[in-house]
Structure formats: C-alpha cells, structure tokens
C-alpha cells in the first residue's frame, strides 16, 4: 500500500512490527568512576578554583628490577613497598591542615573495618593532637552514597573492634555520626561544603 508523504515521495507501510524500544533511564554520571577518581577530580577542581590545595599521597615504593628493552619502553619487573602508607589525602583548606582516608565497599548494610589499618588510625590520632582536621570518607558503591565522618567520631568504632566488638560499622551508625556528601558535576564530591559546617 502506497502512502503519500509531505515531500511528495511515495513510501510503503512496514509489514513487520517494529522492535519495541525499552524506556529505560540511564545514569551516565557515575559510570566507571571509583571513589578515588571522584576525589581526584574534585581535588583538581578545588585547586583550579583556588579553594584548597589537597593531593593524593603517593605510596612509597622501592624499585628493585627494571626491564629496558628500549629506553621508551621501560617496565618495572620487581618493586616493594618501602613502608606502610599513612592516609590517602592531605592538604590545606582555609588555613587548616586536612588529612583523610577514603575507602569504598560494595556492602549495602555495613562498612568492614578491615579496610583500615592500625597505622592509619595512629596517624590520624596524631593529626588530631596537632589540631589538624582528620576524617574518613566512606562510599557504599552499591547504594551510590558517600559519607564524611570526623575522625573523632569514627575512632570509637575502631576501638570497639579492638576490644573484641563488632568488626564493621553499620550503615545506620554511619548515618547517625556522619554527613552525606552529595554527588554533583563540579565539583564531583563537594566534601569541603561538609567541612565548612564543622569550622
């Protein structure tokens, strides 16, 4: 059967039913992003806009053996950690020293404390003694939520575990002692807006 179109050309009616298109909302905002990538992007935004100077600390590594097939193609074959790293990030904001650890989990109901190490806890205790601001950022990647917890409020969970108690922090406990960092575009995770509420 021919059909007349406004442009004057003839066409034919499709005899097969078209494949139905699923009406699905796709969120491209977080696809492929890890907590570390989100924070690095946020810190780059802060630096570019002169809001803060915060960097990820490099892990100290001792290179032992390198393969040089070509100078432009050197490959590290063997390396060791020189010493345990302290925390992930540090820097300065509004004249205050910031130091924090960032961790993520796929769990939906609790955050395992095994993600943290004793030397990191000791390091953050020392930051508090020097009047710096230490905190923990935890991401529940399956839920798409991120929390900022001041270290003085996070430490009791660690001490509870050390004294034989629970080896994780429940989602409800984190929600009660933390503030949620909303996702945005620029910056990606505006944790400084949360820190502003503490100063």
Relative orientation angle of helices 151-162 and 118-129, to the nearest 10 degrees: 140
Length of the chain: 199
* 170 assigned to a ligand binding site: no
Q: How many CB atoms lie within 10 A of CB 178?
A: 21
Residue 162's Cβ-count burial label (10 Å; 0-12, 13-18, 19+) is exposed
Q: What's the pLDDT tens digit per position in 88-106?
A: 899 999 999 999 999 999 9
pLDDT at 67: 78
For residue 152, name the pLDDT band (cuts at 50, 70, 90). Answer: very high
> How many degrees, rounded to 5, is the angle at CA 76 between CA 70 and CA 77?
110
* 14 assigned to a ligand binding site: no
Domains recognised in the chain with CATH numbers: 85-197 (3.40.1350.10)
pLDDT above 60 for 7: no
pLDDT at 111: 96
Whole-number mean pLDDT of the chain? 83
Residue 41's Cβ-count burial label (10 Å; 0-12, 13-18, 19+) is middle
The answer to whether 106 and 72 are in contact (CB under 8 A) is no
* 159 assigned to a ligand binding site: no
For residue 66, name the pLDDT band (cuts at 50, 70, 90). Answer: confident
**8-12, 66-70, 188-192, range with the lowest pLDDT:** 8-12
For the chain, give the percent of residues with pLDDT over 70: 74
Q: What's the pLDDT tens digit per position in 21-52?
A: 444 433 334 444 699 999 999 999 999 999 99
* 130 assigned to a ligand binding site: no
Q: What's the pLDDT tens digit per position in 111-136?
A: 999 999 999 999 999 999 999 999 99
CA-CA-CA-CA torsion sign (119, 121, 127, 133): positive
Strands 89-93 and 133-140: unpaired
């Amino acid at each position: 059967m021919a059909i007349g179109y406004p442009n004057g050309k003839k066409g034919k009616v499709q005899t097969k039913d078209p494949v139905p298109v699923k009406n699905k909302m796709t969120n491209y905002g977080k696809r492929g992003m890890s907590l570390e990538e989100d924070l690095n992007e946020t810190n780059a935004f802060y630096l570019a806009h002169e809001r803060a100077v915060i960097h990820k600390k490099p892990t100290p590594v001792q290179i032992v053996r390198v393969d040089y097939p070509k100078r432009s193609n050197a490959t590290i074959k063997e390396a060791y950690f020189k010493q345990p790293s302290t925390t992930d990030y540090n820097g300065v904001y509004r004249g205050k020293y910031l130091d924090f650890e960032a961790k993520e989990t796929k769990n939906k109901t609790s955050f395992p404390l095994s993600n943290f190490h004793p030397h990191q806890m000791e390091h953050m205790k020392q930051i508090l003694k020097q009047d710096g601001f230490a905190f923990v950022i935890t991401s529940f990647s399956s839920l798409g939520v991120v929390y900022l917890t001041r270290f003085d409020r996070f430490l009791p969970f660690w001490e509870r575990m050390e004294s034989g108690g629970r080896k994780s922090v429940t989602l409800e406990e984190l929600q009660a002692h933390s503030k949620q960092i909303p996702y945005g575009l620029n910056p990606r995770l505006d944790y400084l807006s949360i820190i502003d509420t503490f100063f």
